[in-house]
Chain A
Amino acid sequence: MARGDSDLSALTEALSSSQISKEKQPTDPSNGDDAGGVQITCFSEVVHDTTTLHFQIMRLPKQIYAWIGCNSEKLGHLYAAAPTRPSAVSVTSILGGTSDNTGSGIARRLVSRTGLNIILACNIPKNSPMIELDAEKLLVQKLLNLGYIKPKSQGS
């Protein structure tokens, strides 16, 4: 029926215009080409004049993989973290990290902020809370810049 059709097309139009806006594509100049669903961003920062932190962020459609290198290019400890209930986060160490779980805190806090599954590889030496803090700050800043996480002020 003609009337049914026009109602349907009006409904479709209304639905598509009220669609939740797509996440904005990052326009990060540093190697952030997004052909193929995986966006990779790499950057390095020097902290405390002595420590070089390297960061690698890979944005998969439903997961983020991040690597933090502290003065070295080793893979380090690998952690997987995910939101388990609406308000709970679980972290597990999948490589290394038995007595030294530097990085698990970062993984946990990343999940709290992004709500996404996170795989974090981190080779920050243990007992370096300042470096951990700086690394986390820089990582979160970059994730904000890239639009992977919303700023806290815009509500969760």
Chain B
Amino acid sequence: MDSSFPVPHNKFSLEIKGNKTDVVICSYDDHFLVIATQIGTMGTILQASKEEGATFNPTFSVSVIFGKRDEPMLEACARQLVEHISNSGSSRPLMLSLGLKDHSAETLKGVVSAVIENRLW
């Protein structure tokens, strides 16, 4: 992590179900960017944000802005992460990029826990 650069980031690699997964987490002023890739590209990009005006029991909005729009597990992953961000006290939206070889629950859970473990929020 380069501490003098204004945008901090965390980069690491792990194996999920035998697939090497590269994860990068970046903290911008107004977004968190999380990239998890097994296929060498960013894959599908989703945006997840907290609805305005919600203090307790907030609601979130998740949408795919680039890529596969028919994989509910990806949206579920973004939803879990943005809720975690919100529970940690931040209202910043999440930009999540998932380039995964399979979209099983196990893989997505692996991604979520790896990101939470190395989070920047």
Residues of chain A touching chain B, judged by Cβ–Cβ distance below 8 Å, are: 30-31, 33, 35-38, 40, 42-44, 54, 56, 58, 60-63, 65, 67, 69, 72-75, 78, 80, 92, 94-95, 117, 119
Assess the B7–A67 pair: CB atoms within 8 A. yes
Assess the A54–B5 pair: CB atoms within 8 A. yes
Q: Which of B1, B7, B9, B40 has the most CB of A within 10 A?
A: B7
List the A side residues contacting B47 at CB < 8 Å. 95
Q: Is the interface of A mostly helix, strand, loop or mixed?
A: strand
Q: Tell which of B2, B13, B29, B42 touches A119, judged by Cβ atoms closer than 8 Å.
A: B42
Within the complex, the shortest CB–CB distance from A146 to chain B, in Å, comes to: 15
Assess the B30–A37 pair: CB atoms within 8 A. no
Assess the A95–B65 pair: CB atoms within 8 A. yes
Closest to A36 in B: B13
B6 within 8 Å of A by Cβ? Answer: yes
Assess the A54–B40 pair: CB atoms within 8 A. no
Which of B19-27, B75-83, B102-110, B113-121 contacts the other chain?
A: B19-27
Q: Is the interface of B mostly helix, strand, loop or mixed?
A: strand
Asked whether A62 and B29 contact (CB < 8 A) given A69-B7, A80-B66, the answer is no
Assess the A65–B42 pair: CB atoms within 8 A. yes
Asked whether A40 and B29 contact (CB < 8 A) given A54-B7, A58-B35, the answer is no
Residues of chain B touching chain A, judged by Cβ–Cβ distance below 8 Å, are: 1-2, 5-7, 9, 11-13, 20, 22, 24, 26, 28-31, 33, 35, 37, 39-42, 45, 47, 65-66, 95
**A37 to B31, alpha carbons, bound, how many Å?**
24
**A58 to B24, alpha carbons, bound, how many Å?**
9
**A30 to B4, alpha carbons, bound, how many Å?**
11
List the B side residues contacting A44 at CB < 8 Å. 5-6
Interface CB pairs A-B, < 8 A, 15: A37-B13, A38-B13, A38-B24, A38-B35, A40-B24, A42-B9, A56-B9, A60-B41, A61-B41, A62-B39, A63-B41, A67-B7, A75-B95, A94-B65, A95-B95
In the A-B complex, the 7 residue pairs with the closest CB atoms: A36-B13, A61-B40, A73-B29, A31-B2, A62-B40, A63-B41, A42-B5
**A60 to B29, alpha carbons, bound, how many Å?**
23
List the A side residues contacting B6 at CB < 8 Å. 44, 54, 69, 73
Assess the B65–A60 pair: CB atoms within 8 A. no
Assess the B20–A37 pair: CB atoms within 8 A. yes
List the A side residues contacting B20 at CB < 8 Å. 36-37
Q: Tell which of A31, A42, A43, A94 touches B45, judged by Cβ atoms closer than 8 Å.
A: A94
**A65 to B36, alpha carbons, bound, how many Å?**
13
Within the complex, the shortest CB–CB distance from B67 to chain A, in Å, comes to: 9
